[in-house]
Chain A
Amino acid sequence: MASIWEYANPRKFMATTDVVLPWIAVTAALTLVGGLIWGFFFTPEDYRQGATVKIIYLHVPAALLAINAWLMMLAASLIWIVRRHHVSALAARAAAPVGAVMTLIALITGAIWGQPMWGTWWEWDPRLTSFLILFLFYLGYMALWSAVENDDTAADLTAILCLVGSVFALLSRYAVNFWNQGLHQGASLSLDAQENVADVFYHPLLVSIAGFVLLFVALVLLRTRTEIRARRMRALLLRERMG
């Protein structure tokens, strides 16, 4: 098995993803549909929450990915700063809108869930607030990418913004904890089985999480490929104009 850095070569990356991407996309679709159908139609209703509990199959995976997409961008930005692989910078750029949409899904499904359960669409709860702040960070990150004209400068600037933003996002996470008491429940998923949701809900939840993760990977790969192609096209056009 060759080193992972081989995929920093755009040609190698394109050749590999060309083969892999359809498989990932199809598996993502199957797992997602399977997990959601299992969750929505073949699980019992919660004795207190009724049918509303089923929104967990959208809410938890989206929230999970909203955070992990940012972590992935952080890793990709670090790789870009240290090793200057363009594919890495483009992958970070590609992940941002996906992460932003995941954050939005988590916020919206949370509001829909919160309305019957807590009697309110929105509450300045630490978890909710820090997700809103995370959403703002995504917006700023994407805005900076699209505002800077030179591609390499944009990659550099957004990478630094991602690093600094991560520190401040973490700070905000603990700051809001201090600022208001939580209404949101604790972790839905943890290694401690006592804390977990019951098994009937747990297994379909795992499947839909897998579906969401695969969907995220497929979307990021697809968007990275689009970015690479767009860049190649620009290079070709420039060359033509020069010649």
Chain B
Amino acid sequence: MRALLLRDLRLAMRAGGGFGLGLAFFLIVVVLVPFGVGPQTELLARIAPGILWIGALLACLLSLDRILALDWEDGSLDLIATAPVPLEAVVSVKALAHWLTTGLPLVLAAPVLGLLLNLPAPGYGWLTLSLLLGTPALSVIGTFGAALTVGLKRGGLLLSLLVLPLYVPVLIFGAEVARRGAEAMALTTPLAMLAGITCGTIALLPFASAAVLRMNLR
């Protein structure tokens, strides 16, 4: 399992696109928003938490089809599936690798991009915390979507259609934590809900992903 994780990380780093693409996309979304809504700092400060969350979510979405599609194309997915490791573990490791290469850089970049959007000072910690809690769920849910669409030719667009509605609860609670943090309000409830959703998806969704992958590999 560790070998699989290291392999995925190494592939993502050496093939490029893993770290870079998602981050660049995140940066571009955040830079484009002021052009769209105007440069008033009060307005930007109000919408900053939501924009940062949506940007991170879209950047995450961008790299989802790479989780399994490359392995599917060159046949290594079949080898991994026949290896003496449960498929549930394989899927979890894949999600972890995706999070380490996409989610974690986004979390680290978010406060810097928050500066661009004039995020209020109390918001930085909560924004980072909410993304840190929420992005693992995005990766796990995304792996489920990737497993659903792995064998399809026009899988990319379908993947976003399938995954985006599943992202709704994470986005709602995550952005709510960031917003309340920025406005220095009480945020225990959304924080607990966000953590609960993340733990629940990490615990349960790999089983669904593995089941779906088994059907696709049949």
CB distance from B190 to the nearest CB of A (A): 7
**With contacts defined as CB atoms under 8 Å apart, how many contacts are there between chain A and chain B in the complex?**
75
Which residues 143-176 in A have Cβ within 8 Å of B in the complex? 143-144, 147-148, 153, 156-157, 160-161, 163-165, 168-169, 171-172, 175-176
Q: Chain B residues with Cβ under 8 A from A140's Cβ?
A: 158, 161-162, 165
Proximity bits, A121-154, B CB within 8 Å = 1, else 0? 0000000000001001101100110011000010
> A164 near B166 (CB under 8 angstroms)?
yes
> A171 near B216 (CB under 8 angstroms)?
no
Q: Chain B residues with Cβ under 8 A from A176's Cβ?
A: 168, 172
CB distance from B132 to the nearest CB of A (A): 19
> A171 near B169 (CB under 8 angstroms)?
yes
A165 to B163, CA, bound (A): 10
A160 to B214, CA, bound (A): 12
A138 to B199, CA, bound (A): 26
> B172 near A175 (CB under 8 angstroms)?
yes
Q: Is the interface of B mostly helix, strand, loop or mixed?
A: helix
> A172 near B215 (CB under 8 angstroms)?
no
A143 to B163, CA, bound (A): 12
Q: Chain B residues with Cβ under 8 A from A164's Cβ?
A: 144, 166, 205, 208
Q: A136-B165, A147-B152, A168-B169 are in contact. List 11 more A-B contacts (CB 8 A).
A: A147-B149, A153-B216, A157-B216, A160-B208, A161-B162, A168-B166, A171-B169, A171-B197, A172-B168, A175-B168, A178-B172
Measured CB to CB, the residues of A under 8 A from B are 133, 136-137, 139-140, 143-144, 147-148, 153, 156-157, 160-161, 163-165, 168-169, 171-172, 175-176, 178-179
